Structure 1
Amino acid sequence: MGLLGIIWGASFLSIKVGLEEIPFVTLVMHRVAWACAILWAYVVIRRLPVPADPRIWGAFLVMGLLNNVIPFSLMAWGQQFIETGLTSIFNAGTAIFGVLVAALVFADERLTLRKGVGVLVAFAGVAVAIGLDSLRQFDIRSLAQLAVIGGTISYAFASAWARKTLKGLTPPVAAAGMLTGAMLILLPAALYVDGMPQWPALPATYAAVAYFAVFGTALAYLLYYRVLAMAGAGNAMLVTLLIPPVAIVLGAVVLGERLAPQAFAGFGLLAIGLLILDGRILRLMRG
């Protein structure tokens, strides 16, 4: 979990660096394309069974849209206008929307009192991190923050879709199929929006693309599913709490970013909300 938190935390920095030279749709295409190739190579080497059912491949297409195309694009666009650390704080809210979507879709995921309190506290954290002044002014910065939050909502729907349609698949095959579906959407979108990709001029851009494609996407998916199998969904959710501190520190050290005090206060409330959702803190207090 610690390694995964570090990898994903540093991914926000690498995306910010890549955005200096590559348009955001093309950047997302690079992230998905190289990770897709790596995961399929892994599937072939491991000789994992690949589904032939067209319905599964249709599910991959939808999953790629919900879990890659929409969130990656919204967050990359938003990160052009807001700090790396702030993006990672909003990303930690994925679990909030995951709980709400699951309660709407699945009968066994009803919203209990504990979950409701956790969601409300976490929502308060997101609101504090955004800042009421930002929403009143509604400038490009506030729009960018809402775009990042929109990406977290898409992640929540992706989680529900995966539970309904991708049962029984090995994690590497599911991840490779999902990225393939995303590529079918992103390749024509990048060509239409940004034109033919140009070779970057800066070595830092190549390093950034290599990092978030190889480590932040391909390796991270394999690690995430490993954590999920070893520690369960509750522990995996808490990875989102490890990401913002890494992203905030790297943004400050490498890019000289400074977050407003309200961002840290918002993250504190968000963390408390997620811990309430997890439930173990309350059980320890009772014990």
Structure 2
Amino acid sequence: MSGKDWLSLILLSVLWGGSFFFVGVAVPWLPPFTIVLIRVGVAALVLAFALPALGVALPRGRAVWAALMVMGFLNNVVPFSLYVVAQGQISSGLASILNATTPLWGVAVAHLATQDERLSWPKALGVLTGFLGVAVMMGQAGDGGTFWAQAACLCAALSYALAGVWARRFKPLGLAPLSLALGQLACATLILVPLVALVDRPWTLALPPLPVIAALLGLAVLSTSFAYGLYFRLIASAGAVNAFLVTFLVPVSAVALGIAFLGEALAPRQVAGMALIALGLLILDARLWRRVRTRGGRLPPLDTPEDI
């Protein structure tokens, strides 16, 4: 990757790590579904204005929008909501570490749901190592609330993995990545509006203080709409496998922000679990095995998800 790609990768990790920080700021003041609705609704508005200016076509067709509705549910409504609920019980740093299990779930789901991404021995070893890290972190959960909050994060990561498999159907449709992002965010907004009205009753809520409003705007504009654009640009420039490296960096950013601004701390077992998850992700990266086979030889860049 070029120096510009590395800067984009680091910035993306800060933006996605920052999403856990922004949620941590907002959680004490607003109910979960309201936070998620603001995130996806504002982000959808930003992209709706940005796409025509960028010359990107909007999604069209009933079948496309039906598929986008499922995508918005799996990739936005479910995981965003579960992480917000979980962060009422656990730190933003711990939530981000559990979010890093998404590629582990992705390998398992792809093995079960597809014919061309079967589980190899290196992948199986990576998955087992990563989930061993999860077991280390959750094995000594102090109370039921903490345990179930961590379980919610794992379910959110699983939902992301399911969305990744579902997204395969958009490739033959020729839908631009930013158009896909707008479509799923718009659909997620439509799903959440009646849910927020029934459950949260936002008209009864007090206006949050200015720092919380700023955090919500940062969550929607920076960590969602802008981050989507940066991510897809990074894939186009550096390849999907190199963009996959952001998974290693997001917990670092989230943990650092949580410690610096939210007074959070990680227990030793959580650090050990994070190390095992990182090792599992490293094992999943096909470049490691190519280095073993070539005994340290220089490797060509990998650009397809099948190489993970």
- Fold conserved between structures, TM > 0.5: yes
Within the alignment, does 1:177 sit opposite 2:186 as a pair? no
Residue 203 of structure 1: how far off its partner (Å) = 1.2
Within the alignment, does 1:193 sit opposite 2:209 as a pair? no
Of 236-245 and 224-233, deviating more is: 224-233
Residue 218 of structure 1: how far off its partner (Å) = 0.2
Structure 1 residues 48-87: aligned runs within 5 Å: 48-87=56-95
Q: Which runs of 4+ in 1 moved over 4 A?
A: none
1:135-186, CA deviations, whole angstroms, 9 ceiling, x for partnerless residues? xx76111011100110000000001101124541111111000101101101
1:84-142, CA deviations, whole angstroms, 9 ceiling, x for partnerless residues? 11000000000000111111122110101111111111111111122x132xx761110
Corresponding position of 2:147 = 142
Secondary structure of 2:90's match? coil
The CA distance in 2 between the partners of 1:102 and 1:29, in whole Å, is: 29
Residue 72 of structure 1: how far off its partner (Å) = 0.2
Secondary structure of 1:221's match? helix
**Corresponding letter in the other structure for 1:109:** E
Q: In 2 relative to 1, CA 166–190 (structure 1 residues): closer, same or farther, beyond 3 Å?
A: farther
1:68-94, CA deviations, whole angstroms, 9 ceiling, x for partnerless residues? 000000010001100111000000000
The CA distance in 2 between the partners of 1:144 and 1:166, in whole Å, is: 34
1:194-238, CA deviations, whole angstroms, 9 ceiling, x for partnerless residues? 003445331110110011100000001111111222222222222
Residue 189 of structure 1: how far off its partner (Å) = 0.6
Within the alignment, does 1:245 sit opposite 2:252 as a pair? yes
Corresponding position of 1:284 = 291
Give aligned pairs, total: 284
TM-score, normalised by the number of residues in structure 1: 0.95
Within the alignment, does 1:264 sit opposite 2:271 as a pair? yes
- Residues 166, 174 of structure 1: 8 Å contact kept: no
Secondary structure of 1:240's match? helix
**Corresponding letter in the other structure for 1:19:** V
- Residues 98, 153 of structure 2: 8 Å contact kept: yes
- Residues 85, 247 of structure 1: 8 Å contact kept: yes
Secondary structure of 1:217's match? helix
Corresponding position of 1:159 = 164
Report which of the two has the higher share of helix.
1
Within the alignment, does 1:18 sit opposite 2:23 as a pair? no
The CA distance in 1 between the partners of 2:260 and 2:59, in whole Å, is: 45
Within the alignment, does 1:235 sit opposite 2:242 as a pair? yes
Residue 240 of structure 1: how far off its partner (Å) = 1.1
**Corresponding letter in the other structure for 1:46:** L
**Corresponding letter in the other structure for 1:163:** R
Corresponding position of 1:94 = 102
